[in-house]
Structure 1
Amino acid sequence: MIKQLLISPSCKILPTNRFIYNWYSCYSTNKPRKSIESNQKKSTTTTTSTPTPTSTSTSSSKSQSPTTDQILFEQFQKSVIKNDIKHNPNNQPFWMKRNRTIKSKHSHWNPTKKLSRSEMNKLRELKQYFPHFTTADLGKIFHISPESVRRILKSKYIPDDD
């Protein structure tokens, strides 16, 4: 439905996407051009041999209108994509929301420093003794990111004694 509209502004409009076309036509500057085109059609039917001053002005306005129409159509495309349900941040999966909040709060998760097993155990013990500590607080103590603290506390991996 939207693909037809996004191909070109002069595409065929089906009844199902009439509301999008109406929205586009309200915000575009096609209305004056349509009246000029209708005047041109009238002038071409009456006199075809001699060009009139109105026909030269319409040709100059036609050369200007595709650029403005193209810009307006690009704005229309951007607004459709922006308002698309798939791009709505509230409709994204949980893991994408979590990654977005982590990036906004604590820049990004890039574990340059890796903790040893004994340090991981110390971190878990600290969390047991002081449950009011947040992951950001524990991250500052161990000089690691809050996301890596969250992953360490979440993991249930116990190495074998082999």
Structure 2
Amino acid sequence: MKVFGFAGWSGSGKTTLVEKLIPEFTARGLRVSVIKHAHHGFDLDKPGKDSWRHREAGAMQVLMLSNDRWVLMHELRGAPEPTLDEQLRLLEPCDLVLIEGYKAAAVPKIEIHRPSHGKPPLWPENPHVVAVATNGEIDCPLPRLPLDEPAVVADFILDYFKNR
């Protein structure tokens, strides 16, 4: 599996770009998976539902399934967060895994940078950033990609892997 990441400050447009890239890659015949790292807690479940009640009762894992999808919820219950490598091993084989977050992970990544947000760029301090997707002018020695043109970003990612 090829792994490519996206990093940027909150509100920069990481999720929007990944959302637009998925159909670009799938239209090209690639099977795509996504890992999203959240710095805050989250819950896919609803209080009072059976699966929520099972987790609240202390279950380590709850697997829910239907005709359309299945999900495995795993409670850490104080255990350390799994590493990125451990999470990648949980995924079914695919052609490309897009990772949102994990700024420090040693995987190639595109920084999403919006100068209008007034935040400093990440690329000067992050050796894993190989390009910057932006909607503004920035002074950067890395390739600059148009943030609002997912086909161009997809081409860059596929070319990146071809040339490695």
On whether the aligned pair clears a TM of 0.5, the verdict is no
Shorter-chain TM-score tier: under 0.3
Kindly indicate whether structure 1 or structure 2 has the higher relative contact order, using CA contacts under 8 Å at least 6 residues apart: 2
Structure showing the higher helix proportion among its residues: 1
Structure showing the higher strand proportion among its residues: 2
